Amino acid sequence: MKILVPVKRAIDYKVKVHVKSDESGVELTNVKMSMNPFDEIAIEEATKLKESGQATEIIAVSIGSDKAQETIRTAMAIGADRGILVKTDAPTDLGGVEPLAVAKTLKALIEKETPDLVIMGKQSIDDDSNQTGQMLAALLGWPQATFASEVKIESGKAVVTREIDGGLETISVNTPAIITTDLRLNEPRYASLPNIMKAKKKPLDVITPEELGVDFSPRLKVLKVSEPAKRQAGIIVDSVDALIDKLKNEAKVIG
Partner 1 sequence: MTILVIAEHNNSKIKASTLNTVAAAKNIGGEIHILVAGANCGEVATQASNIDGISTVLKADAPHLEHHLAENLSALIVKNADKYSHILAPGSTFGKNVMPRVAALLDVQQVSDVIEVINESTFKHPVYGGQAIATVESTDGKKVLTVRTTGFDAVPVDGGSASIEDIITTSAFGLSSFVSIEESKSERPELGSAKIVISGGRGVGSKEDFKIIEDLADKLGGAVGASRAAVDAGYVPNDYQVGQTGKVVAPNLYMAIGISGAIQHLAGMKDSKVIVAINKDEEAPIFQVADYGLVADLFDAVPELIKKL
Ligand X SMILES: Nc1ncnc2c1ncn2[C@@H]1O[C@H](COP(=O)(O)O)[C@@H](O)[C@H]1O
Ligand Y SMILES: Cc1cc2nc3c(=O)[nH]c(=O)nc-3n(C[C@H](O)[C@H](O)[C@H](O)COP(=O)(O)OP(=O)(O)OC[C@H]3O[C@@H](n4cnc5c(N)ncnc54)[C@H](O)[C@@H]3O)c2cc1C
Rule CB under 6 A: which residues touch ligand X? Answer: 6-8, 36, 38-39, 62-64, 92, 97, 99, 102, 120-121, 123-124, 127, 129-133
When CB distances are held under 5 to 8 angstroms depending on the partner's kind, the choice from ligand X, ligand Y, partner 1, none that residue 8 binds is ligand X
CB neighbours of residue 95 within 10 Å:
17
Q: Is 13 in the site for ligand Y (CB under 6 A)?
A: yes
Please give the residues from 26 up to 65 whose contact with partner 1 meets the rule CB under 8 A.
26, 38
When CB distances are held under 5 to 8 angstroms depending on the partner's kind, the choice from ligand X, partner 1, ligand Y, none that residue 71 binds is none
Name which of 38 and 147 has its Cβ closer to ligand X: 38
Residue 179 near residue 148, CB atoms below 8 Å: yes
Name which of 17 and 242 has its Cβ closer to ligand X: 17
**33, 43, 61, 173: residue in contact with partner 1 (rule CB under 8 A):** 173
Please give the residues from 71 up to 90 whose contact with partner 1 meets the rule CB under 8 A.
none
Please give the residues from 221 up to 240 whose contact with partner 1 meets the rule CB under 8 A.
221-228, 231-237, 239-240
What's the rounded Cα separation, in Å, for the pair 104 and 92? 14
Residue 39 near residue 5, CB atoms below 8 Å: yes
Minimum separation from the CB atom of position 194 to partner 1 (A): 29
Q: Is 7 in the site for ligand Y (CB under 6 A)?
A: no
Minimum separation from the CB atom of position 209 to ligand X (A): 11
When CB distances are held under 5 to 8 angstroms depending on the partner's kind, the choice from ligand Y, partner 1, ligand X, none that residue 82 binds is none
11-14 contacts, C-beta under 8 A, 24 or more apart: 11/93, 11/125, 11/126, 13/37, 13/125
Helix axes 99-113, 132-140, angle to 10 degrees: 50
Contacts of 143 (CB under 8 A, 6+ apart): 137, 173, 174, 177, 178
Residue 145 near residue 173, CB atoms below 8 Å: yes
Angle at 132 between CA 7 and CA 226, to 5 degrees: 90
**66, 111, 154, 169: residue in contact with partner 1 (rule CB under 8 A):** 169
Q: Give the number of residues in contact with ligand Y, rule: CB under 6 A.
A: 3
Instruction: Work out whether strand 144-154 and strand 57-64 pair parallel, antiparallel, or are unpaired.
Output: unpaired
* Dihedral pair phi/psi, residue 3, rounded to 5°: -120, 135
**31, 51, 111, 138: residue in contact with partner 1 (rule CB under 8 A):** 138
Please give the residues from 122 up to 181 whose contact with ligand Y meets the rule CB under 6 A.
125
Tell me the chain's radius of gyration from C-alpha atoms: 21
Name which of 193 and 235 has its Cβ closer to partner 1: 235
Minimum separation from the CB atom of position 254 to ligand Y (A): 21
Name which of 93 and 108 has its Cβ closer to ligand Y: 93
Q: Across-strand partners of 152?
A: 159
Applying CB under 6 A, which residues contact ligand Y?
A: 13, 37, 125
